[in-house]
Amino acid sequence: MLTPDEERFLKGKAAKLRRLVLEAIYHAQSGHPGGSLSYVEILTVLYFHTLRFDPRHPADPGRDRFILSKGHACPALYAIFAELGIISPAELASLRRVGSRLQGHPDMTKLPGIEMSSGPLGLGLSAGLGMALAARLDKRDYRTYVVLGDGELQEGMVWEAAMAAAKFRAGNLTAIVDFNGVQLDGTTDEIMPLGDLAAKFGSFGWQVMETDGHDVNALAGVFAEAKKAVDKPVVIFARTIKGKGVSYMEGRYQWHGQVIDAEKYQLAIAELEAVKI
Amino acid sequence: MNINMDMDMGPVAGEKSLLNYRDWAALPRKSCREAYGAALRRLGEINDQVVVLEADVGNSTKSVLFSEAFPDRYFNVGIAENNMLGVAAGLAACGKIPFANTFAVFATMRAGDPLRSLIAYTGLNVKVAASYAGLSDSYDGATHQSVEDLAIARALPNLTVLVPADAHQTVQAVMAAAAYRGPVFIRLSRAVLPVIYKEEAGFPIGRGRVLRRGADVTLIACGYMVYKALQAAEMLAADYSIKAGVIDMSTIKPLDTALLREAAEETGRIVTIEEHSIHGGLGSAVAEYLIQHHPVPMRLLGLPDVFGESGDYEALLTHFRLDAPGITKAVADFCR
């Protein structure tokens, strides 16, 4: 359970991240607002509450690892890096520009703090499993967290990793699914129904949890619960709204990767600034 | 075949690494995959950061030899090559030196995306052991043979591409790859091949080796084709009085361009020989350099834009004119 102060702090951070995300994508005139906004609370609770991670030492061998498998949502990750002081707030304006460390999809060779390059969907869980196995070999107690999109679960490689994580009893691996129900071309139900995901992961040998992905209290609770896992990997289905916080984007697949014009931008910022914590 | 040395050629630096290959019949024959598995195991003893991944072909690639000694550092992920390369990337990101094993055809084409995006793009320290390459899995046919892998591996930035010529060089390539920091693609043969290199000849990554000096033409080969090129060079001397040099270009990338220029200047003609499509492999790499910096007449020997097929390995090589007589004839026609 979070204290009222912690809760207020996390909500405030989340609200600020949304503004930074919008600003960066608007300046770049390119990027993915929908999926960046949907997992803002997940990211906020992880980096400001759950992860063992000191931004002054982003390469500490004992740190928890975080992989953004749905790499297109990186504007939110860059925004939290700015909040953590890994990059300067001004650098966010360089998103997607030539020479920038803030690539359109995360590049671990350019930006400290990025644990694994990502972008092509379906790759991150495998890499996360590799990190989890390395922790065991090195007898370290760090945990590895991977955020995936729900549409991303249509990639077959995710299920290869799901099988393997159960086989290798990777209790130190936590997958978090940003379960917003919307992908590039439409809803996941229209494009490729995912079926009973909890039953699927459960039958693969995973411990399955569900939560409201916008409720910082609930998220902190499931993350704490997931840390108790010993020999089963954990998947958390975090129910979210794509484009959360910007009324005209919410739940609309058209905002997966649409350019934001000046008028729409002002509208979005006005809405986000009106949020009461 | 027993042909006298061409005395006016002088000694060749790379030749010191060779056994007395001219006594063809007496050359030992060794399994490259057995040598690979043994090398992996030895590596495991020397370096506790080495981990091995396998996609259910461990008894074929011989990675199983590592698993017997180091079960805790061996991960068989099942028939899932994509996941294997992804897991390898994660292990490498945490300081491990993963050797990921599968057939060359699957390493590059099934698992092409993780190979590119998680290993080459990231520059992570993953070694991809691409077994059963070329036509060496001869009886299984085109689906399991790999005549496109060099084209793909070579096109990926950051990826170093090695092709050992025999069992001894396979061991040396494994050791060199482990000592090298960065992603390496090692093209391995399934076959039992004549051993032409001495055991401890080393594997100088990024450097080709002149095994025989020529005057009229240089044969540039990799893998098993190095042996075939040496044989062809002897036949060319005996039957056509053509003095053919031989270079083992065991690193396809980065390519030893200084040596290429030297060979082009010295002999004025280049023939490349590879157990691979002539589109995109060793021949293409050599041509890309020479056409821009030192153009000389060239011939590319390999598979001419076709898939392989089932059959006896040597019969298949003969079918594609990649045996010594086939190479000899192609080179003789070219030099005429």
Query: pLDDT for A211-242, tens place per residue?
Result: 999 999 999 999 999 999 999 999 999 999 99
**Residue among B86, B94, B117 whose CB faces A119 most closely:** B117
Bridge partner residues of B210 (DSSP): B247
Put simply, whether A119 touches B (Cβ < 8 Å) is: yes
What pLDDT score does B16 carry? 86
- Nearest residue on chain B to A165, judged by CA atoms? B77
Residue of B56, B87, B121 to mutate, testing the A interface (most A Cβ within 10 Å of its Cβ)? B87
Q: How confident is the model at residue B4 (pLDDT cuts 50, 70, 90)?
A: very low
Cα distance from B169 to chain A (closest Cα, Å)? Answer: 30
Put simply, whether A146 touches B (Cβ < 8 Å) is: no
What pLDDT score does B23 carry? 86
Q: How confident is the model at residue A276 (pLDDT cuts 50, 70, 90)?
A: confident
The residues of B annotated with a catalytic role in the active site are 81
Please give the average per-residue pLDDT across A5-28, as a whole number: 97
What pLDDT score does A125 carry? 98
**Residue among A109, A134, A156 whose CB faces B94 most closely:** A134
Q: How confident is the model at residue B20 (pLDDT cuts 50, 70, 90)?
A: confident
What pLDDT score does B13 carry? 72
Q: Which residues of B touch A161 (CB under 8 A)?
A: 83, 86-87
ipTM attached to this prediction = 0.97
What pLDDT score does B14 carry? 83
Query: pLDDT for B58-81, tens place per residue?
Result: 999 999 999 999 999 999 999 999
- CA-to-CA separations, B193 to A77, A175, A201, A207, B58, in angstroms, rounded: 52, 47, 47, 50, 20
Size of interface A-B (CB pairs under 8 A): 109
- CA-to-CA separations, B321 to A14, A128, B135, B196, in angstroms, rounded: 67, 47, 13, 21
SS3 A71: helix
What pLDDT score does B9 carry? 45
Please give the average per-residue pLDDT across B34-49, as a whole number: 98
What pLDDT score does A171 carry? 98
Is B82's CB within 8 Å of A129's CB? no
Query: pLDDT for B140-150, tens place per residue?
Result: 999 999 999 99
Q: Which residues of A touch B90 (CB under 8 A)?
A: 116, 126-134, 144
Q: Which residues of B touch A156 (CB under 8 A)?
A: 82
Q: State how far the Cα of B268 lies from the Cα of B297, in Å rounded to an integer.
A: 7
Query: pLDDT for B96-147, tens place per residue?
Result: 999 999 999 999 999 999 999 999 999 999 999 999 999 999 999 999 999 9
Query: pLDDT for A17-58, tens place per residue?
Result: 999 999 999 999 999 999 999 999 999 999 999 999 999 999
Q: Which residues of B touch A119 (CB under 8 A)?
A: 117
Q: Which residues of B touch A131 (CB under 8 A)?
A: 90-91, 93-94
CATH ID of A4-273, from 3.20.20.80, 3.40.50.280, 3.40.50.970, 3.30.360.10: 3.40.50.970
Is B83's CB within 8 Å of A164's CB? yes
- Nearest residue on chain B to A107, judged by CA atoms? B122
Put simply, whether A116 touches B (Cβ < 8 Å) is: yes
**Residue among A119, A125, A131 whose CB faces B93 most closely:** A131
What pLDDT score does B314 carry? 98
Please give the average per-residue pLDDT across B248-267, as a whole number: 98
Q: State how far the Cα of B28 lies from the Cα of A70, in Å rounded to an integer.
A: 53
Q: How confident is the model at residue B5 (pLDDT cuts 50, 70, 90)?
A: very low
Tokens for B235, please give them: 């036949």
Mean pLDDT of chain A: 97
Contact call for residues B294 and B242 (beta carbons, < 8 A): no
Q: Which residues of A touch B121 (CB under 8 A)?
A: 107, 109, 117
Please give the average per-residue pLDDT across B305-331, as a whole number: 98
What pLDDT score does A273 carry? 94
- Nearest residue on chain B to A62, judged by CA atoms? B94
Which residue matches tokens 């074929």?
A: B60
Could you tell me what percent of chain A has a pLDDT over 70? 100
Cα distance from B68 to chain A (closest Cα, Å)? Answer: 17
What is the SS3 assignment for A110-143? CCCCCCCCCCCCCCHHHHHHHHHHHHHHCCCCCC
Query: pLDDT for B149-181, tens place per residue?
Result: 999 999 999 999 999 999 999 999 999 999 999
Bridge partner residues of A67 (DSSP): A146
Q: How confident is the model at residue B15 (pLDDT cuts 50, 70, 90)?
A: confident
Domains for chain B: give ranges and CATH numbers: 29-194 (3.40.50.970), 206-335 (3.40.50.920)
Tokens for A129, please give them: 């499993």
In this structure, the number of other CB atoms found within 10 A of the CB of residue B330 comes to 18
Could you tell me what percent of chain B has a pLDDT over 70? 97
Q: State how far the Cα of B87 lies from the Cα of B52, in Å rounded to an integer.
A: 11
Q: State how far the Cα of B150 lies from the Cα of B159, in Å rounded to an integer.
A: 11
What pLDDT score does B238 carry? 97
Query: pLDDT for A58-95, tens place per residue?
Result: 999 999 999 999 999 999 999 999 999 999 999 999 99
What pLDDT score does A277 carry? 84
Residue of B94, B102, B113, B119 to mutate, testing the A interface (most A Cβ within 10 Å of its Cβ)? B94
What pLDDT score does A144 carry? 98
Preceding amide of B254 cis, omega within 30: yes
More confident call, A190 vs B19: A190
What pLDDT score does B3 carry? 37
Q: What DSSP designation does A204 have? A: H
